[in-house]
Amino acid sequence: MNVDLVVVGSVIAAMLTAATPLLFAALGEVVTERSGVLNLGVEGMMLVGAVCGFAATVGSGSVVVGVIAAAAAGAGMALLFGVLTLSLLTNQVATGLALTLFGVGLSALIGQGFVGIPLPKPPAFAIPLLSDIPVIGPGVFEHDALVYLGLLAVPALAWFLTRSRAGLVLRAVGENHAAAHALGYKVIRIRYMAVLFGGAMSGVGGGYMSLAYTPMWAEGITAGRGWIALALVVFATWRPERVLVGAWLFGGVTIAQLHVQGLGFAVPSQLLSMLPYIATIVVLVAISRDVARIRLNAPACLGKIFHPGG
């Protein structure tokens, strides 16, 4: 096969793997925000999920156990957020920021004994026939199970939010929690479930970082991907299918920093490391110019406190 085609295939594969943690975290946040809850603690949940997933895998020798532990850890952090914001009615923005700071410190504390321990990468599964397609076959159809799970989650959540009764109720709560409550829906319970799902997905996204993307634990391993995932939700206008496109875009930007210098461009490595975050700022600035579109697509009750007796 032509060397250039091999390079293209490897770039596609790297882009998909780089996009996977963003995809999990952003999809979880889409569901959370669709219920009317704004959780800015995605970065903290990803970090705790990453370290707990890594610790569980080291202790058990099973990646499956590690992924489950990562999801449980993310959901545990989300439960803390839910108790504070949904039951104790604290400010969602401030609580989310505090959750990220708490997650950064907690993950560093838990991970002290796991620094420098390597893990084998999870096995890749080749899809028969499709993986034999030239160029895109190996890049798209030869990945570990979590990459496929992230891709399958996109149509599943799109169907859930637009076609299922539970998804429509969830969206109704996010659009007008008072009306949903008047119709007899348990607003707080629904939001708890959405918050826990978002936390579990963020935990899996963080777990992917430490178990598959770079199978090791290092303090701050997510490197701000939780914040990129939050921006990705707005970029995608709260739609799962657009989240996938945005995740691929940011994944491509992340991979670009690894290939630009290899192509002979004399660009400082520090500038290349900034590319994903520069892209995030550019996207947010571009989106903010169309305020009407954001208001049209954003859940009307996003970030608003609900009290059944209020």
CA–CA gap between residue 53 and residue 62 (Å, rounded): 10
Q: Which amino acid is at 276?
A: P
**What local confidence, expressed as pLDDT, does residue 261 receive?**
60
Q: Which amino acid is at 6?
A: V
**Predicted confidence (pLDDT) per residue in 161-184, tens digit:** 999 999 999 999 999 999 999 999
Question: Which residues 6+ apart lie within 8 Å of 275 measured at CB?
Answer: 253, 254, 256, 257
**What local confidence, expressed as pLDDT, does residue 142 receive?**
82
The domains of the chain, with CATH numbers, are: 3-297 (1.10.3470)
Q: Which two tokens stand for residue 136?
A: 């895109």
**What local confidence, expressed as pLDDT, does residue 251 receive?**
84
How much of the chain, in percent, has pLDDT values that exceed 70?
A: 90
- Report residue 1's pLDDT band, with 50, 70 and 90 as the boundaries: very low
Return the sign of the alpha-carbon dihedral for residues 98, 99, 104, 110. positive
**Predicted confidence (pLDDT) per residue in 231-286, tens digit:** 999 989 999 999 999 899 888 887 776 666 666 666 676 776 777 778 778 877 77
The arithmetic mean of pLDDT across residues 207-212, rounded, is 96
Q: Which residues pair with 217 in a beta bridge?
A: 115
- Report residue 307's pLDDT band, with 50, 70 and 90 as the boundaries: confident
**Predicted confidence (pLDDT) per residue in 212-227, tens digit:** 999 999 999 998 999 9
Q: Which two tokens stand for residue 67?
A: 């992924």
Give, as one character, the DSSP assignment of residue 83: I
Instruction: Return the closest-CA partner of residue 86 out of 24, 213, 177.
Output: 177
Task: Say if residues 74 and 46 touch (Cβ distance below 8 Å).
Answer: yes
Phi, psi of 143 (to 5 degrees): -140, 170
9-23, 140-154, 279-293: range with lowest mean pLDDT: 279-293
